[in-house]
A and B are shown apart, each in its own frame.
Chain A
């Protein structure tokens, strides 16, 4: 059994610590069980079922640390892995950035586990995929998709008394639907902790509608356009930016958060006033674990308020060096929005482009966070509040920082992976060339 209860995990971790002779010892135990189905050309291509569990030990003498893991759990194996970590620690060079482990901490109970999701079987997966295939076969379209579910537990304990445990379940589904001529393509991608929210039939219908609707796309000139980014497209752009909310790289002068002349842009108005970003492990739509790898409790953290940078993440080491409290990075990122739907945003747009998603986004310049990438699986021209016709895909060169300075309107946030983002209307979004890709 790869998924242990809190008590079962605690027992193994305690046993591991009882063998330790190191100055500090940290042990962690994690396991997962899950399966997947991949399909293409309207048939299953691959499928699998995998389960794993690992114990990791990290032993420290002074500032010398060694770590080792094992996946056997009898007493002799546990004693052996502790000894191995201690031997490696003696061989290791000193790490001047070593931080002694924290003592006991209090963590909120997370909302990441759902028993129904945890009980998904290979047959349930096959049924969920069958529903998706039913949609495309009836519509004489072609689907390629992926369904994956898993249960995971993580736990950590150290010789100073810290203990943390979390159990989570998740299910994710994505499907690309194309017409038989290969001239139209649509896509959806959703993940949830609760499988009851996952409707593979309805999602496939959305992708099918986009596949049909995007056929016969017209070419329009590249340039600056008002765009409506669906939540998926918006999350593609923002995911990159969130990783930059790090104090150390900003202080070191090598981030878009670095200030001219030295220091960081903490406290500066970096975005439009309607931009508010935060992390919150207890958000019911996108729950996360309530602790991080440093043993710090995760709580709601405001990163941007009314366009002003309110917080940057500080590791325990960097916080100590800078004389501030550590700020753990978020495990989810939430951008606030309004109540309008995507359709409302389209209705209020005189001329613009609707983007379903972006693809192959890469950093071009870390200084400005300039990104390049392409639109994919449904790009449409909007005129007088209506979708007029599908257009050919574009390559863009745009920075999410510039983009969040050009926010005209935000809709209701939707979960996309570990982000909650609203559909957004952005002016002057830069498309630099056309692509023939469908």
Chain B
């Protein structure tokens, strides 16, 4: 990533404050120019040039991704706009197999000559590395789909909403925070549009249009006298949606001690509660360490699912391909082969799904031309499957890939990435209120906070945004300095109850990192509120 981190834009005024960290996503452009797609006939011509050049140099397989990646950031703090930036990144990435080895090359020079040269360079890289290659790459068969397309089912294209409307919303958010006692507030709308075209020597030409949105804020309350400060972040979720995500109606709200949201989000309401929560946190009781029953809201649990289920079921980690960076996995193949590895209690049913509407991972086809689907990972508590791509499918005895291949851009090579991984709701009717009524000594956690897990995904520690103490079936007040530590398998085996589907909501990660050079992907995790019994809670307060 060092190469990209160098992109020099700091101190450049409008939007620049945001850009150094976002350089991997592209270059700032005129918002109005971002909207016209590239002609599909031109893309097919370019793809054919690349595929033919690769084959003529000896590639036994080739695929091409022509990508136009648009991002928009609108960022504010208190009463001012920090930055508005549109970025675009357009280019072609060509992946080949030659002499049994993968090679990849990418360019943003989009003449037919440059494309052909880049394809040849990819073949040359493959051949150079074939000398130190072990076993040849084995690709699961994949039929060509011909010329097909897929579009995210959005209602309002975020890029077509005037910047002023977004700025006005965010400044209103900030104003509400300040009026309700916050000292500082940052708010952001981040939108992504991936226009990507895939073609391969298998005979697929796939055009896709993907949208994502992530509105968020953070408020800070300072208590000058004590020198203490507390923060509270938004309870929004990044979604695979358009601007309609910001148009919540009454049906999108979940009642309770603080409002939470499903499908659509009310930023103005959430920020008011956030400011109040931050003030409450200053004086909240510091938690007594020990064992508690945890009641985890979907706005919190998504991250625990992501880290402790999503990552260890990635087949590339299981096999050792991520050993030097993200790590390996405790869910080794022998555990899967035994067909009786008890990952969790029988309440635990977890699915992988690349088709869920509104989710971050939803696409028609993955980045190696495989049609996407849905499958079980954990069934009644037992590990039953992983997440695989074409060159791994044979290891699981699968006849085809599970469609988990993704690249963050045209200039990065695609590899195995997490599909949406979600805990299925409980089959019996159960509300959050009824779940809490049953808890004698517990903590109700809302929102995600600090997170850390080991490289094989055994030992984890999670914080949160807000914590409520439960005593004898009732919420008795707010707690502070809470984090829980557990072992993944013990934790999921302590799962005692899952609320029904009326409470099911999506959370998600906009920037899940993996790979070298590191790449970011976006993925959703759904769940209903869930209870875990007897989890170890530590107190995180310190003095310096």
The answer on a CB contact under 8 Å between A144 and B6 is: no
- Bound-complex Cα distance A264 to B71 (A): 37
CB within 8 A of B30: which of A42, A50, A68? A68
The answer on a CB contact under 8 Å between B222 and A254 is: yes
Q: Among the interface residues B28, B485, B536, which one has the most CB atoms of the partner chain A within 10 A?
A: B28
Q: Kindly report which residue of chain B lies nearest to residue A155, judged by CB atoms.
A: B8
A residues 1-52 near B (Cβ < 8 Å) are 26, 28, 30, 32, 34, 36-52
The answer on a CB contact under 8 Å between B13 and A45 is: no
- Bound-complex Cα distance A258 to B184 (A): 15
Which one of A195-203, A303-311, A336-344, A361-369 contacts B?
Answer: A361-369
Asked if A401 CB lies within 8 Å of chain B CBs, one says: yes
- Bound-complex Cα distance A69 to B332 (A): 47
The answer on a CB contact under 8 Å between A150 and B3 is: yes
The answer on a CB contact under 8 Å between B129 and A47 is: yes
Whether A367 contacts B129 in the complex (CB less than 8 A), given A71-B27, A395-B461, A397-B538, comes out as no
Whether A360 contacts B452 in the complex (CB less than 8 A), given A42-B134, A154-B8, A370-B540, comes out as yes
The answer on a CB contact under 8 Å between A52 and B227 is: no
The answer on a CB contact under 8 Å between A262 and B224 is: yes
B residues 221-236 near A (Cβ < 8 Å) are 222, 224-229, 231
A residues 108-137 near B (Cβ < 8 Å) are 122-123, 126, 129-130, 133
Q: Kindly report which residue of chain B lies nearest to residue A46, judged by CB atoms.
A: B413
Which residues of chain B have C-beta atoms less than 8 A from A402's C-beta? 542, 544
Whether A70 contacts B27 in the complex (CB less than 8 A), given A126-B128, A148-B2, comes out as yes
Q: Kindly report which residue of chain B lies nearest to residue A166, judged by CB atoms.
A: B8
- Distance of A95 from chain B, by nearest CB (Å): 7
Which one of B318-326, B382-390, B471-479, B520-528 contacts A?
Answer: B318-326
The answer on a CB contact under 8 Å between A293 and B12 is: yes
The answer on a CB contact under 8 Å between B134 and A126 is: no
Which one of A173-181, A224-232, A275-283, A345-353 contacts B?
Answer: A173-181
- Distance of A45 from chain B, by nearest CB (Å): 6
Asked if A437 CB lies within 8 Å of chain B CBs, one says: yes
Asked if A152 CB lies within 8 Å of chain B CBs, one says: yes
Which residues of chain A have C-beta atoms less than 8 A from B3's C-beta? 32, 34, 50, 148, 150, 152
The answer on a CB contact under 8 Å between A41 and B134 is: yes
Asked if A246 CB lies within 8 Å of chain B CBs, one says: no
- Bound-complex Cα distance A262 to B224 (A): 6
- Distance of B175 from chain A, by nearest CB (Å): 15
Q: Among the interface residues A26, A51, A373, A434, which one has the most CB atoms of the partner chain B within 10 A?
A: A51
Which residues of chain A have C-beta atoms less than 8 A from B9's C-beta? 28, 56, 67, 69, 293
Whether A41 contacts B319 in the complex (CB less than 8 A), given A67-B28, A437-B455, comes out as yes
CB within 8 A of B542: which of A259, A365, A437? A365
Whether A43 contacts B134 in the complex (CB less than 8 A), given A260-B227, A436-B330, comes out as yes
- Distance of B360 from chain A, by nearest CB (Å): 21
- Bound-complex Cα distance A87 to B14 (A): 12
The answer on a CB contact under 8 Å between B14 and A67 is: yes
Whether A362 contacts B29 in the complex (CB less than 8 A), given A45-B321, A260-B227, comes out as no
- Distance of A118 from chain B, by nearest CB (Å): 13
Which residues of chain A have C-beta atoms less than 8 A from B102's C-beta? 44-47
The 8 A CB mask of B64-104 against A (1 = contact, 0 = none) is 00000000000000001100110000000000000001111
- Distance of B436 from chain A, by nearest CB (Å): 26
- Bound-complex Cα distance A38 to B542 (A): 41
Asked if B250 CB lies within 8 Å of chain A CBs, one says: no
- Distance of B489 from chain A, by nearest CB (Å): 9
Which residues of chain A have C-beta atoms less than 8 A from B13's C-beta? 26, 58, 60, 65-67, 95, 98
Whether A364 contacts B323 in the complex (CB less than 8 A), given A48-B413, A69-B27, A84-B30, comes out as no
Which residues of chain A have C-beta atoms less than 8 A from B108's C-beta? 52, 71
CB within 8 A of A433: which of B20, B184, B485? B485
Whether A367 contacts B224 in the complex (CB less than 8 A), given A32-B6, A98-B13, comes out as no
Which residues of chain B have C-beta atoms less than 8 A from A364's C-beta? 450, 461, 463, 483, 540
- Distance of B514 from chain A, by nearest CB (Å): 12
Whether A368 contacts B323 in the complex (CB less than 8 A), given A68-B28, A88-B30, A395-B485, comes out as no
Which residues of chain B have C-beta atoms less than 8 A from A42's C-beta? 134
The answer on a CB contact under 8 Å between B129 and A37 is: yes
The 8 A CB mask of B24-61 against A (1 = contact, 0 = none) is 00011110000000000000000000000000000000
Asked if B124 CB lies within 8 Å of chain A CBs, one says: yes
Which residues of chain B have C-beta atoms less than 8 A from A399's C-beta? 542, 544
CB within 8 A of A361: which of B184, B229, B452? B452
Asked if B172 CB lies within 8 Å of chain A CBs, one says: no
The answer on a CB contact under 8 Å between B459 and A434 is: yes
Asked if B487 CB lies within 8 Å of chain A CBs, one says: yes
Asked if A287 CB lies within 8 Å of chain B CBs, one says: no
The answer on a CB contact under 8 Å between B324 and A40 is: yes
A residues 242-284 near B (Cβ < 8 Å) are 252-254, 256, 258-262, 270
CB within 8 A of B450: which of A56, A91, A258, A362? A362
Which residues of chain A have C-beta atoms less than 8 A from B101's C-beta? 44
Which residues of chain A have C-beta atoms less than 8 A from B105's C-beta? 48-50
The answer on a CB contact under 8 Å between A126 and B131 is: yes
Asked if A302 CB lies within 8 Å of chain B CBs, one says: no
Whether A293 contacts B8 in the complex (CB less than 8 A), given A42-B134, A364-B463, comes out as yes
- Distance of A189 from chain B, by nearest CB (Å): 9
- Distance of A396 from chain B, by nearest CB (Å): 10
Whether A362 contacts B135 in the complex (CB less than 8 A), given A65-B13, A172-B2, A178-B320, comes out as no
- Distance of A172 from chain B, by nearest CB (Å): 7
Which residues of chain B have C-beta atoms less than 8 A from A123's C-beta? 128
Q: Among the interface residues A34, A47, A256, A295, which one has the most CB atoms of the partner chain B within 10 A?
A: A47
Known contacts A28-B12, A56-B28, A89-B14, then 18 further A-B pairs from the complex at CB < 8 Å, ordered by chain A residue: A28-B8, A34-B3, A44-B101, A65-B13, A69-B29, A70-B27, A144-B320, A172-B2, A182-B332, A253-B227, A260-B225, A293-B9, A293-B20, A364-B461, A399-B544, A432-B485, A435-B458, A437-B330
A-B contacts, 27 listed (Cβ < 8 Å): A26-B11, A38-B515, A40-B322, A43-B132, A44-B129, A48-B104, A48-B413, A50-B105, A64-B14, A92-B84, A95-B80, A122-B124, A182-B328, A252-B222, A254-B184, A260-B225, A262-B224, A293-B9, A360-B453, A362-B452, A364-B463, A367-B229, A372-B450, A374-B454, A435-B458, A436-B330, A437-B459
- Pick the 8 closest A-B CB pairs, nearest first: A293-B10, A65-B13, A260-B227, A43-B134, A293-B11, A435-B459, A144-B323, A437-B454
